[in-house]
Structure 1
Amino acid sequence: MKNLHFKHSLPLVLICLSLLTGCKSKSEKEDTLSSEEKNVAVNKEKGLKDYYANFFSMGVAVSPRSLEGPSATLILKEYNSVTPENVMKMGPIHPEKDRFYWEDADKIVDFAQANKIKMRGHALVWHQQTGDWIFKDENGKKVTKEELLKRMKTHIDSVVSRYKGKIYAWDVVNEAIDDNPNEFLRNSDWYEIAGEDFLIKAFEYAHEADPNAKLFYNDYNAIIPEKRDRIYKLLKNLIHKGVPVDGVGIQGHWSIFSPSEEELRKALDMYSSLGIEVQITELDVSIYPWEKERRALKSGESSEFTEELQQQQLEKYDMFFKVFRDYKDVLTGVTFWNVSDKYSWLDTYPVEGRKNYPLLFDEDLKPKKAYWKVVDFDEQNN
């Protein structure tokens, strides 16, 4: 009986030992979880908008297609503001003088309204993605200044009035400063026909169409000193003339190489000194140096997102958001330009077919290491 009792007890002993060993292994496994994995486990429902709720709104540029399926789920979790990437630009929304195309823009506005998300409008007046009809008469010749301003007013009245009360801010004029440091305003058709008045009237018309909307001037390379100073000069001149400019949109098309922290802080100081709002409107961090002109992909040119590049991008994003948090009384919004690395305008510009990885979510819509760095901060010390 004694031996029989031991014989039947042995499996129980082994089971207990197995359970104890299993518990220990589980504990050891938890200890080896990366900070990213722990964050995922703890903060499944938390998004960028929640981490930065006490700082500024967190937005993203969208297309109608991105408002469906997994990307829509990601948008709703992470962001509380959206901007249409292309569909509200003059070319797509007003392709002919007497014809508007509202369907795509309406989809985005309806999505924002249904989900109680703020929406920025982009962009009313720009030298690109603009139909030639606005600059030419029935004979193909350039219209007069008076006619151009009349057509611009019709466009702004129609678009802004349609979404009045649904769009809280507009990029009214986009990229009017010349890239050449020896020039001031870009020599576009707008400027060639109407001079500086096209800028002034654009803001006045937008304000008349929706007096409650925030009106922004928006531009790229707005941190680089030589262009920053000219954007500052433009804004100061407009404000001095009583033009209803509420803010400046800094297109954050940056890279792992630039801008520096010093340049970023200096620009934020300068723009905010004008007494206007500042927003980062088109944020992405390229893994390649800045290029303006389009070119072909070079033989052997790599587009691999190496560990080294991931680390450099993480460090740059970390620096940018540390500065943003320091300027929470100045910044009123940060908007990423596209949802994830699955699609970015930088995949086709400036080099067609060169894959870029500029955002906080990878091609599978999963948060990258840079994401966890952006949200890993002590709110009490910010």
Structure 2
Amino acid sequence: MSLRDLTASTELEIGACASLENLENDRFTELLGNEFNRLALENDLIWKVVHPERETFAFKRVDKLVDFAERHEMAITGHALVWHIENPNWLVKEDWRAVELADVLRSHIHTITERYADCIDTWDVVNEAVDDTGELRETFWLEHLGENYIDDAFYWASEHTDADLYYNDYGLPYNEAKQDRVYDLLKDLLDHGIPVDGIGIQMHCVGVHPTPEQIQASIHRFQELGLDVRVTELDVAYHNDKRPNELKTAQAAYYQQTVSACLEAGVEGITVWGVTDDQSWITSWREYPDTYTQQPLLFDDEGRKSNRMRLWHQYSANTEMRDQLLFRIYSISSS
């Protein structure tokens, strides 16, 4: 039974990300369509791909991914409208006047959200706007537009889509300074009537592995603002110098406890950042291939999954679906 089958009668969404190149692999596409019910567009909506020249948008890649998702009855997350990296030279090398750049950003957001208004139901509007010290990240956008670029991005996105609009960031369960600043940022947006529906808590557990208590505390804190909370970009890797003796067992146990903590906190959307290990960003990003273990996802390079039997404590009444899901995740990730 697939992860998708287990959630069919519930409101829980189990997602994975993909880029167009991934669809060239039959093994990958079979797993993506059969196991998951949400598709996050990993790279094909970033500026340098979808808006390579000032007067040119390139939608063919996105259209093919959207078509795949619709044929497999998957919900879609658009990622991301505003980010500090992966921007084209025509954008970042220009000496912009603030009003002119604001028009460019508004047009970019309007064009994309309007085009996909009928098929993308969730947008990562602003991605990673706070740095690891708890300050607004010094970015191209902040330099030229000031911190109101965040308000404007959400407002402009709301003008052409009824999709849920999210802020997305990493490190929130374990970085208190960053969590505090993101909380204050989102509270201020909500207090000023800016249309923010939720927050994506990225769970790149790469070298840092927050505890269930840290994860749940961060989820509850943002829920108290009235925001929907999704767990996004989940993967698990260990520093090679601290590699567990039984890597697969440790990884599977951490997946199990993390997903369990999220479900117990009321999260109804969890997205893993990839499908098979060989397609993970960790295998190619900067020094990561030499620094971290290279089996971060639920399926190995060949898409294999294990039938190994694992049992654990049943947490509470009326949790049959959850326990089956956790069993499935544990079995897959320990293969």
- Tell me the TM-score normalized by structure 1: 0.77
Quick one: which of 251, 264, 269 aligns to 2:220? Answer: 269
Q: Conserved in 2, the CA contact under 8 Å of 1:57 and 1:80? A: yes
How far the C-alpha of 1:120 sits from its partner, in A, is 0.5
Secondary structure of the structure 2 residue equivalent to 1:380: coil
Residues 21-100 of structure 1 correspond to what in structure 2 (within 5 A)? 46-53=1-8, 54=10, 56-68=12-24, 69-100=26-57
Secondary structure of the structure 2 residue equivalent to 1:252: strand
Quick one: which of 60, 67, 83 aligns to 1:126? Answer: 83
Match of 1:173 in 2: 126
Q: Please tell me whether Structure 1 or Structure 2 has the larger radius of gyration of its CA atoms.
A: 1
Matching residue's letter, 1:66: N
Quick one: which of 183, 186, 199 aligns to 1:248? Answer: 199
Q: Aligned equivalents of 2:81 and 2:154: distance in 1?
A: 10
How far the C-alpha of 1:148 sits from its partner, in A, is 1.0
Determine whether 1:193 maps to 2:144. Answer: yes
How far the C-alpha of 1:222 sits from its partner, in A, is 1.6
CA deviations on 1:32-71 (whole Å, 9 max, x unpaired) are xxxxxxxxxxxxxx21122234252010001113224111
Change (3 A) 1:152 1:379: farther
Match of 1:25 in 2: none
Change (3 A) 1:271 1:364: same
Q: Aligned equivalents of 1:286 and 1:352: distance in 2?
A: 10
CA deviations on 1:125-170 (whole Å, 9 max, x unpaired) are 011011232345xxx4x21111111000111111111111100000
Match of 2:230 in 1: 279
Secondary structure of the structure 2 residue equivalent to 1:342: helix
Matching residue's letter, 2:257: M
Q: Aligned equivalents of 1:78 and 1:362: distance in 2?
A: 14
Determine whether 1:214 maps to 2:164. Answer: yes
Secondary structure of the structure 2 residue equivalent to 1:251: strand
Match of 1:233 in 2: 184
Q: Aligned equivalents of 1:359 and 1:379: distance in 2?
A: 29
Matching residue's letter, 1:280: V
Determine whether 1:308 maps to 2:265. Answer: no
Q: Aligned equivalents of 1:105 and 1:96: distance in 2?
A: 17
CA deviations on 1:205-231 (whole Å, 9 max, x unpaired) are 100011x11000001112122211111
Determine whether 1:318 maps to 2:238. Answer: no
Secondary structure of the structure 2 residue equivalent to 1:91: helix
Matching residue's letter, 1:230: R
Determine whether 1:356 maps to 2:294. Answer: yes
Aligned length: 314
Q: Which runs of 5+ in 1 are unaligned?
A: 1-45, 289-300
Q: Aligned equivalents of 1:322 and 1:264: distance in 2?
A: 10
Quick one: which of 273, 282, 305 aligns to 1:367? Answer: 305
Change (3 A) 1:243 1:380: same
Match of 2:273 in 1: 337
Q: Which runs of 5+ in 2 are unaligned?
A: 323-335
Cα RMSD, aligned residues only: 2.4
Secondary structure of the structure 1 residue equivalent to 2:73: coil
CA deviations on 1:92-147 (whole Å, 9 max, x unpaired) are 100110011111111101111122211000000011011232345xxx4x211111
Q: Aligned equivalents of 1:370 and 1:255: distance in 2?
A: 25
Q: Aligned equivalents of 2:35 and 2:7: distance in 1?
A: 10
